[in-house]
Each structure stands twice: as C-alpha cells, then as structure tokens.
C-alpha cells in the first residue's frame, strides 16, 4: 500500500508473502529490525550472521513480535571469502530463488586489522565480502521479476573518503575514519556499477540506503574524543535502529523504487527522519573509478558476475 503522506513507515511495506529475503548482519541493530519488518509482512527471511548463537537469540526476539514468522539462519562471516562461498553454496541448496538481498552487515572505525584473506577489515567486510556474496547469489535473483540488491552505505562516504588504489588495504598507513569512508564509498560505487550491468536484464535492480545516525552497536569502536563527542550529540541527532532501518526497507520494498536510487533520512541533515531519495557525493558517481573498483574487486575476490 502506498503511503498517503510524506512519512514512509513500516506500514507502507507491501505484502511480502512468497518472497525470500537474505539480510546480512541480522542478529542486531539495523539488520535485525530489517529482518523483523520483512518477516512481519510475510517474507521468508534468512538471517545471515557470523555468530549463530546471537543469530538464534535474534530469531527468538523476532518471533516474539511476529509469531509464525518464516525465518532461518545462515552462517556468514564476511571477513572470510571461504565462509562467503560456503554460505552461497548452502543458500543455493536451500532456496530455488532469492527476491531480496540486503547487504547490511558492517564494521566501523575498527583498529588496524586484516580479514582472513589479508584485506583491510573495513574494506574487506563492508565491501569485498558483500561484493563476493552478491556475485555468487545473483543467478538466484536474475530470473525473479522485481528482485533487488540493496546495499547499506553511510553518510561516512562523504567523510575523508576516496578509493585508495595505491594502498587499498592500508598496508602503509592506517586511519580508521579514512578506511571506513573508503568502504562506504565503495558500497555506493558497487551499487551504481551493478545497476548499470543489471539494467539490460529488466528483472533485478540495485539500490542503496543509509540509516542516518542510528543508535546501534556499530559505534562501539569509537575511542577517546570521538566517542565522547558521539555520546554528547546522541540525544540530539540519533534515531532508533527501527527508524534507521526504514531507508533500506523502502529501497527493498517500495514499488516506486528504481535502480540506482539512494535512500536516507529526510531530516536533520540526513541524520534522522523518514526515508526519501537522497543525493550521494559527486565522487561516488565517477564511472571510471566505479569500473576500476569493480575490476579490482573481481581480482581480489575471484568472483565474476553473470552480468
């Protein structure tokens, strides 16, 4: 049902019965709220999580608000390409199709660390893991009219953000804010290039979203003055995880969404409010960099897309 006001809410989510939705990082925060809302509207939701114990707890909490919800768990560690491949194989075995892939999981401002494959943790989890997962699942989506890939970015894509091709993994020097900005800019560039490749197929679309300043566990790696500053402004600018999930939910379910759109909160400088189409940085629309990033991502993950 279309919204009758400019306040798009969970009540505007159309019936999702018969749809299969895979939500990464669905054990807490934005991912759990996204999974809950989709399940409440009838979707079979796969909670793709790194920690299965936490995933079971999330599944139980969702069932409290949505008795009879169709839910399943899938182990997925985006910091391991082996785990990504195993998860994709298991999803192929369990589901003949996927309607929605919500690339939600992420890490933010982590200390210097590498993934199992030697990638910078933020770039590896936030971008490369989702890039690989999408490529490995796309064959389950392309035959499905109306299927969507929604990738969660951040307004961090504007903050000291660039694609550092000369040091993608920050082997020479590391700054947590710069690394996060690169990963979130990469999320948008991936979405735009994926949409360009999907456009001729007329079935699957790619869109992006950002939650604004949502109150989630993602801020746990902030240190020192940054953490104190965040705690001071939190009451003024942050919103609940349920509100923060609305942009991704709208991108995933609103019939009016078109490929390549970016959804985020409409108020307070994009930090909070109901979701609408928002603009991303000029840098995010650089097609030459998008295509170079795509080629590098294929090389690093050894995943080739079927489009």
Could you tell me the CA-to-CA distances from 80 to 35, 90, 148, 195, 292 in Å, in that order? 23, 15, 24, 25, 23
- Torsion angles phi and psi, residue 205, rounded to 5: -125, 160
Rounded Cα–Cα distance for residues 70 and 104 (Å): 20
Nearest to 213 by CA among 223, 222, 204: 222
Rounded Cα–Cα distance for residues 256 and 194 (Å): 19
262-267 and 272-277 beta bridge pairing:
antiparallel
Q: How many residues does the chain have?
A: 307
Rounded Cα–Cα distance for residues 281 and 21 (Å): 29
CA atoms within 13 A on the CB side of 83: 20
DSSP state of 266: E
Residue 167 token pair: 């040091």
**Residue whose pair of structure tokens reads 């890039």 in the numeric block:** 131
Helix (H) or strand (E) holding 102: strand 100-103
Based on the residue annotation, tell me whether 109 is a catalytic residue of this protein: no
CB 100 within 8 A of CB 38: yes
Angle (deg, nearest 10), helices 287-301 and 176-198: 100
The single residue of 180, 192, 263, 274 carrying the catalytic annotation is 180
Rounded Cα–Cα distance for residues 138 and 103 (Å): 13
Catalytic residue set: 180
């Amino acid at each position: 049902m279309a919204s009758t006001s400019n306040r798009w809410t969970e009540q505007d989510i159309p019936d999702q019965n018969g749809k299969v939705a895979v939500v990464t990082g669905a054990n807490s925060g934005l991912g759990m709220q996204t999974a809950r809302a989709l399940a409440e509207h009838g979707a079979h939701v796969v909670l793709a999580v790194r920690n299965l114990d936490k995933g079971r707890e999330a599944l139980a909490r969702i069932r409290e608000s949505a008795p009879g919800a169709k839910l399943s768990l899938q182990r997925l560690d985006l910091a391991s390409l082996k785990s990504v491949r195993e998860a994709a194989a298991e999803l192929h075995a369990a589901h003949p199709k996927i309607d929605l892939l919500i690339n939600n999981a992420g890490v933010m401002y982590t200390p210097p660390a590498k993934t199992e494959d030697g990638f910078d943790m933020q770039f590896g989890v936030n971008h490369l893991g989702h890039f690989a997962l999408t490529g490995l699942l796309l064959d389950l989506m392309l035959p499905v009219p109306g299927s969507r890939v929604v990738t969660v970015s951040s307004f961090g894509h504007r903050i000291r953000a660039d694609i550092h091709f000369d040091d993608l993994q920050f082997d020479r020097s590391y700054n947590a804010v710069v690394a996060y900005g690169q990963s979130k800019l990469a999320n948008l560039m991936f979405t735009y290039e994926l949409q360009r490749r999907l456009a001729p197929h007329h079935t699957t679309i790619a869109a992006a979203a950002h939650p604004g300043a949502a109150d989630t566990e993602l801020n746990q790696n902030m240190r020192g003055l940054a953490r104190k500053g965040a705690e001071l402004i939190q009451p003024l600018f942050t919103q609940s995880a349920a509100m923060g999930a609305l942009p991704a939910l709208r991108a995933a379910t609103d019939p009016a969404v078109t490929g390549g759109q970016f959804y985020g909160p409409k108020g307070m400088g994009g930090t909070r409010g109901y979701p609408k189409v928002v603009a991303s940085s000029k840098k995010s629309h650089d097609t030459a960099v998008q295509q170079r990033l795509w080629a590098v991502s294929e090389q690093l993950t050894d995943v080739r897309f079927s489009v």
